[in-house]
Structure 1
């Protein structure tokens, strides 16, 4: 009877039945002597172990955009960790600073690997995670990072890049890449010219990587970030949010994750 009354009252006031919420936790971990501050998210109603997905932030740093993606992944049934690749959770407030932060990591492969692997180690040891089923996604700078980690042979089922750079000084070698690769690119992104795309495809094919490249017509750089228009106008950068492509690329990611984790 109490349940019936509760259900009726919820219906009267437009409330949904109480369910376990998506749980987000601030986590601190280290790579060498550097303190890193991440964000771990999962559905605490699910008792079974499930795949883990690492989320690597844009060049702005570990911000709400990366955290929101981690939450969406948790809602989709995964355990997600938004990484901190810069240390101490720091964020850039100007493109010059963002370029400096991302360059320090992007041009130092051992540093990039150590910080990525520190996050991967943390996610693998979570009680909710099936550590044999791991993937990574990244945005902008983060997209470049996850592609490079695939090139380096990290033990991941798949990596997905949203509007990330494709060039590298350390190309993939045949037999080394374990992950399936998904690249989602804005066709109007001036940071990823046609010759870079052609070079990337040639690299993947030469290394016999299982990859998919999706080019979204009309999409510019940072098409998944709702703050892109504001940042583009503020700093005179070719950034633009595209709600349609954001939705389409997220659906593409969901299909990809189901494929790699089956």
Structure 2
């Protein structure tokens, strides 16, 4: 099997120079494409590996950046940047659209067949792209049950899949209910999977999370959540030899 190719791509967004990770499948033809959004700490090898896995399955994948090439491992620094960001949908959409422009400009990517997946803050960016009316084929999020401005979810024109841990103190039962109510009222084709016993960031290997209350890795549910995301892409954005 021919190997995938990867490279770092620099692009402007949110007043910063972002450093995304682009993964290209073997071959030369156009393929469907996927944006991959990182957790609040920023782009890490976790998201890079997921982009690589998608490329191995035939997708063009761009794991986008949130913090200008920085990884904010200190919770205080991460919260200082992400808390106001999550309160500003237009800023999130700007970050997402900048990455989307990079992906659409890639010659291997089919600009009309793009999905967005993301984790935490990156998942919130994916949802805001949908609420902003971007024509995506699917949106998949983990730990990102953010609700948007009233009525804007009606602009989402693709299926939405969301996963969350039952014991996630950040994405509480009340937050889950609010997200479900928003999606339902907007007539979105939506699914919410609650993984029993899982905490916040359950999908993320325990690199530097375990010291944070309410955060913890759950290996079994992490594998299940990834399979669910792959199933979403297989359903809504299948890889074919020729993208029509």
Could you tell me the TM-score, scaled by structure 1's length?
0.85
Is the 2:39–2:121 contact (alpha carbons within 8 Å) kept by the matching residues of 1? yes
| Cα RMSD after superposing both structures | 1.7
Query: Is residue 234 of structure 2 the alignment partner of residue 253 of structure 1?
Result: no
TM-score (norm 2): 0.91
- Structure with the larger RCO, 1 or 2 (CA within 8 Å, 6+ apart): 2
Q: Which residue of 2 aligns with 1:111?
A: 91
Shift of 1:32: 6.7
Q: Deviations over 1:122-142 (max 9, x none)?
A: 101111111110011111111
- Identify the match of residue 52 of structure 1 among 21, 30, 33: 33
Q: Which of 147, 150, 154 matches 2:134?
A: 154
Matched, 1:204 2:183: yes
Q: Distance in 2 between matches of 1:41 and 1:241?
A: 26
Q: Distance in 1 between matches of 2:14 and 2:194?
A: 38
Distance 2:45 2:79 in 1: 19
- Whether the 8 Å contact between 1:85 and 1:112 is mirrored in structure 2 is no
Question: Is 2:107 aligned against 1:127?
Answer: yes
Once superposed, which parts of structure 1, at least 4 consecutive aligned residues long, lie more than 6 Å away? Answer: none
Partner residue in 2 for 1:81:
62
Within a 5 Å distance, the mapping from 1:38-49 to structure 2 comes to 38-43=20-25, 45-49=26-30
> Quick one: distance in 1 between partners of 2:153 and 2:50?
32
1:185-234 deviations in Å (ceiling 9; x for gaps)? 11111111111111111111100001111111111111111125x4222x
What secondary structure sits across from 2:210 in the alignment? helix
Note if 1:238 corresponds to 2:214: yes
Q: Larger radius of gyration, structure 1 or 2?
A: 1
CA gap 1:173/1:31 in 2 versus in 1, 3 angstroms: closer
Alpha-carbon separation, structure 1, partners of 2:148 and 2:224: 31
Structure 1: runs of 5+ lacking an equivalent: 1-18
| 1:94 alignment partner, one of 74, 83, 98 | 74
Aligned-pair CA distance for 1:149: 1.9
**Contact 2:113–2:136 (CA<8 Å) still a contact in 1?**
yes
How far apart are residue 27 of structure 1 and its match? 0.6
Partner of 2:206: 227
Q: 1:30·1:118 contact (CA, 8 Å) conserved in 2?
A: yes
Tell me, yes or no, if the aligned pair for 1:172 and 1:204 is still in contact at 8 Å.
no
How far, CA to CA, are the matches of 2:190 and 2:204 in structure 1?
24
Gaps of 5+ in 2: 239-244
Which of 116, 125, 147 is the matching residue for 1:168?
Answer: 147
CA distance in 1: counterparts of 2:14 and 2:191, whole angstroms: 35
Aligned residues: 238
For residues 141-184 of structure 1, the C-alpha deviation after alignment (integer angstroms, 9 at most, x for no partner) is 112221222222211111100122x2335144464111210001
Report the Cα distance in structure 1 between the residues aligned to 2:71 and 2:210, rounded to whole angstroms.
Answer: 17
> The residue matched to 1:259 in structure 2 has which SS?
helix
SS in 2 for 1:148: helix
Q: Label 1:249 to 1:33 Cα distance change in 2 as closer, same or farther (>3 A).
A: closer
Cα separation, 1, equivalents of 2:48 and 2:100: 16
Whether the 8 Å contact between 2:128 and 2:148 is mirrored in structure 1 is no
